[in-house]
Structure 1
Amino acid sequence: MTLYELCQRDVICISTGANLGKVDDLSFDENTACIENLVLYGRLKLFGLLGREEDTLIPWKDIRKIGSDVILVETKTIVPVRKKKFLFMI
Protein backbone atom coordinates (compact mmCIF):
# COMPACT_ATOMS: atom_id res chain seq x y z
CA MET A 1 0.00 0.00 0.00
CA THR A 2 1.27 3.46 -0.85
CA LEU A 3 0.74 6.74 1.00
CA TYR A 4 -1.48 7.89 -1.86
CA GLU A 5 -3.73 4.83 -1.45
CA LEU A 6 -3.84 5.37 2.32
CA CYS A 7 -4.89 9.01 1.82
CA GLN A 8 -7.92 7.94 -0.25
CA ARG A 9 -9.55 6.25 2.77
CA ASP A 10 -11.87 7.81 5.34
CA VAL A 11 -10.95 7.42 9.00
CA ILE A 12 -13.89 6.13 11.07
CA CYS A 13 -13.96 6.03 14.89
CA ILE A 14 -15.38 2.64 15.97
CA SER A 15 -16.79 3.83 19.30
CA THR A 16 -18.78 6.80 17.93
CA GLY A 17 -19.13 5.96 14.26
CA ALA A 18 -17.89 9.45 13.40
CA ASN A 19 -16.08 10.11 10.16
CA LEU A 20 -12.93 11.93 11.27
CA GLY A 21 -11.83 12.79 7.73
CA LYS A 22 -9.19 11.50 5.35
CA VAL A 23 -5.54 10.82 6.06
CA ASP A 24 -3.40 13.72 4.91
CA ASP A 25 0.02 12.79 6.22
CA LEU A 26 1.99 10.44 8.47
CA SER A 27 4.42 11.25 11.27
CA PHE A 28 7.52 9.11 11.79
CA ASP A 29 9.93 8.54 14.65
CA GLU A 30 13.28 9.93 13.48
CA ASN A 31 15.34 7.31 15.27
CA THR A 32 13.49 4.11 14.38
CA ALA A 33 11.74 5.20 11.16
CA CYS A 34 8.48 3.72 12.51
CA ILE A 35 5.13 5.33 11.79
CA GLU A 36 3.82 7.05 14.94
CA ASN A 37 0.63 8.86 13.91
CA LEU A 38 -1.88 9.46 11.17
CA VAL A 39 -2.26 13.19 10.55
CA LEU A 40 -5.62 14.64 9.53
CA TYR A 41 -5.46 18.30 8.55
CA GLY A 42 -8.01 20.63 10.12
CA ARG A 43 -10.99 21.87 8.15
CA LEU A 44 -10.77 25.12 6.26
CA LYS A 45 -12.25 28.22 7.83
CA LEU A 46 -14.14 30.47 5.41
CA PHE A 47 -12.81 28.74 2.29
CA GLY A 48 -9.26 28.87 3.67
CA LEU A 49 -9.17 32.65 3.99
CA LEU A 50 -9.05 32.40 7.78
CA GLY A 51 -6.71 29.41 7.86
CA ARG A 52 -7.54 25.96 9.15
CA GLU A 53 -8.74 24.37 12.34
CA GLU A 54 -6.19 22.38 14.35
CA ASP A 55 -4.73 19.21 12.85
CA THR A 56 -5.57 15.86 14.45
CA LEU A 57 -3.07 13.13 15.28
CA ILE A 58 -4.28 9.55 15.63
CA PRO A 59 -1.73 7.16 17.17
CA TRP A 60 -0.76 4.27 14.87
CA LYS A 61 -1.40 1.75 17.68
CA ASP A 62 -5.08 2.78 17.72
CA ILE A 63 -5.74 1.54 14.17
CA ARG A 64 -7.86 -1.61 14.28
CA LYS A 65 -8.37 -2.35 10.57
CA ILE A 66 -7.35 -0.86 7.24
CA GLY A 67 -10.01 -1.82 4.75
CA SER A 68 -10.40 -1.23 1.03
CA ASP A 69 -12.25 2.07 1.56
CA VAL A 70 -12.01 2.99 5.28
CA ILE A 71 -9.61 2.92 8.20
CA LEU A 72 -11.21 1.88 11.48
CA VAL A 73 -9.69 3.40 14.61
CA GLU A 74 -10.51 2.91 18.25
CA THR A 75 -9.08 5.87 20.09
CA LYS A 76 -9.83 8.12 22.98
CA THR A 77 -6.67 10.12 22.50
CA ILE A 78 -7.35 12.23 19.44
CA VAL A 79 -4.74 14.93 19.82
CA PRO A 80 -5.28 18.29 18.17
CA VAL A 81 -2.03 19.90 17.07
CA ARG A 82 -1.63 23.65 17.00
CA LYS A 83 0.05 24.96 13.91
CA LYS A 84 2.71 27.60 14.01
CA LYS A 85 1.41 30.91 12.79
CA PHE A 86 3.56 32.76 10.35
CA LEU A 87 3.54 36.50 9.93
CA PHE A 88 4.01 37.72 6.43
CA MET A 89 5.63 41.06 5.82
CA ILE A 90 4.62 42.95 2.76
Structure 2
Amino acid sequence: MVRIYDMKQKEVISTLDGSRLGYICDIEIDLHEGRIKKIIVPGPGKLLGFFGKDMEYQIPWNKIKKIGEDIILVDITSEDVLKESEY
Protein backbone atom coordinates (compact mmCIF):
# COMPACT_ATOMS: atom_id res chain seq x y z
CA MET A 1 0.00 0.00 0.00
CA VAL A 2 1.25 3.51 -0.86
CA ARG A 3 0.09 6.82 0.57
CA ILE A 4 -0.08 10.02 -1.47
CA TYR A 5 2.47 11.61 0.88
CA ASP A 6 4.89 8.79 0.07
CA MET A 7 4.31 9.18 -3.67
CA LYS A 8 5.13 12.90 -3.44
CA GLN A 9 8.59 11.96 -2.13
CA LYS A 10 9.43 9.92 -5.25
CA GLU A 11 10.93 11.39 -8.41
CA VAL A 12 8.99 10.82 -11.66
CA ILE A 13 11.18 9.58 -14.53
CA SER A 14 10.26 8.76 -18.13
CA THR A 15 11.25 5.28 -19.31
CA LEU A 16 11.10 6.39 -22.95
CA ASP A 17 13.64 9.23 -22.94
CA GLY A 18 15.12 9.07 -19.43
CA SER A 19 14.00 12.60 -18.56
CA ARG A 20 13.57 13.51 -14.91
CA LEU A 21 10.19 15.24 -14.71
CA GLY A 22 10.22 16.11 -11.01
CA TYR A 23 8.00 15.30 -8.05
CA ILE A 24 4.23 14.96 -7.82
CA CYS A 25 2.51 18.14 -6.65
CA ASP A 26 -1.11 17.06 -7.14
CA ILE A 27 -3.37 14.25 -8.31
CA GLU A 28 -6.67 14.23 -10.17
CA ILE A 29 -9.33 11.84 -8.87
CA ASP A 30 -12.51 10.72 -10.60
CA LEU A 31 -14.92 10.85 -7.65
CA HIS A 32 -17.65 9.04 -9.58
CA GLU A 33 -15.44 5.99 -10.19
CA GLY A 34 -13.28 6.43 -7.09
CA ARG A 35 -10.00 6.18 -9.03
CA ILE A 36 -6.90 8.26 -9.56
CA LYS A 37 -7.15 9.69 -13.06
CA LYS A 38 -3.71 11.33 -13.37
CA ILE A 39 -0.74 12.62 -11.43
CA ILE A 40 0.44 16.21 -11.83
CA VAL A 41 4.10 17.26 -11.83
CA PRO A 42 5.12 20.94 -12.12
CA GLY A 43 6.47 21.80 -15.57
CA PRO A 44 9.64 23.63 -16.47
CA GLY A 45 10.05 27.05 -14.85
CA LYS A 46 9.11 30.27 -16.53
CA LEU A 47 11.82 32.69 -17.64
CA LEU A 48 12.69 34.62 -14.48
CA GLY A 49 9.25 33.69 -13.17
CA PHE A 50 7.57 36.33 -15.33
CA PHE A 51 7.12 35.21 -18.92
CA GLY A 52 5.07 32.26 -20.07
CA LYS A 53 2.15 30.33 -18.76
CA ASP A 54 2.16 27.87 -15.89
CA MET A 55 2.82 24.48 -17.41
CA GLU A 56 2.57 21.06 -15.81
CA TYR A 57 3.04 17.43 -16.72
CA GLN A 58 -0.37 15.72 -16.60
CA ILE A 59 0.45 12.02 -16.54
CA PRO A 60 -2.43 9.55 -16.93
CA TRP A 61 -2.51 6.83 -14.27
CA ASN A 62 -2.33 4.09 -16.90
CA LYS A 63 1.08 5.43 -18.02
CA ILE A 64 2.66 4.65 -14.64
CA LYS A 65 4.70 1.49 -15.14
CA LYS A 66 6.39 1.04 -11.76
CA ILE A 67 6.32 2.68 -8.36
CA GLY A 68 9.63 1.94 -6.68
CA GLU A 69 11.16 2.90 -3.36
CA ASP A 70 12.60 6.20 -4.65
CA ILE A 71 11.16 6.72 -8.14
CA ILE A 72 8.02 6.44 -10.24
CA LEU A 73 8.63 5.20 -13.79
CA VAL A 74 6.22 6.47 -16.44
CA ASP A 75 5.87 5.40 -20.07
CA ILE A 76 5.64 8.86 -21.70
CA THR A 77 7.79 11.55 -23.24
CA SER A 78 7.70 14.91 -21.51
CA GLU A 79 6.33 16.65 -24.63
CA ASP A 80 3.34 14.28 -24.75
CA VAL A 81 2.02 15.28 -21.33
CA LEU A 82 3.19 18.91 -20.91
CA LYS A 83 0.03 21.02 -20.75
CA GLU A 84 -1.06 24.44 -19.59
CA SER A 85 -2.13 24.40 -15.94
CA GLU A 86 -5.89 24.24 -15.51
CA TYR A 87 -5.78 25.99 -12.12
- TM bracket (short chain): 0.7 to 0.9
**Structure exhibiting the larger radius of gyration computed from Cα positions:** 1
Which structure has more relative contact order (CA 8 Å, sep 6+)? It is 2
Relative to structure 1, is the Cα distance of residues 47 and 36 closer, same or farther in structure 2, using a 3 angstrom cutoff?
same
Identity of aligned residues (%): 32
Counting matched residue pairs gives 85
What TM-score do the two structures reach when normalised by structure 2? 0.79
Give the superposed CA RMSD.
Answer: 2.4
C-alpha separation between the residues in 2 aligned to 1:52 and 1:7?
23
Structure with more strand by fraction: 2
- Tell me whether 1:78 sits opposite 2:80 in the alignment: yes
Unaligned runs of 5+ in 2: none
Deviation, structure 1 residue 53? 3.5
Deviation, structure 1 residue 48? 4.3
Deviations 1:12-66 (A, max 9, x none): 1011111011111110113111001010123443564558630110110011110
What TM-score do the two structures reach when normalised by structure 1? 0.76
Match of 2:42 in 1: 41
Matched residue SS, 2:6? helix
Unaligned runs of 5+ in 1: 86-90
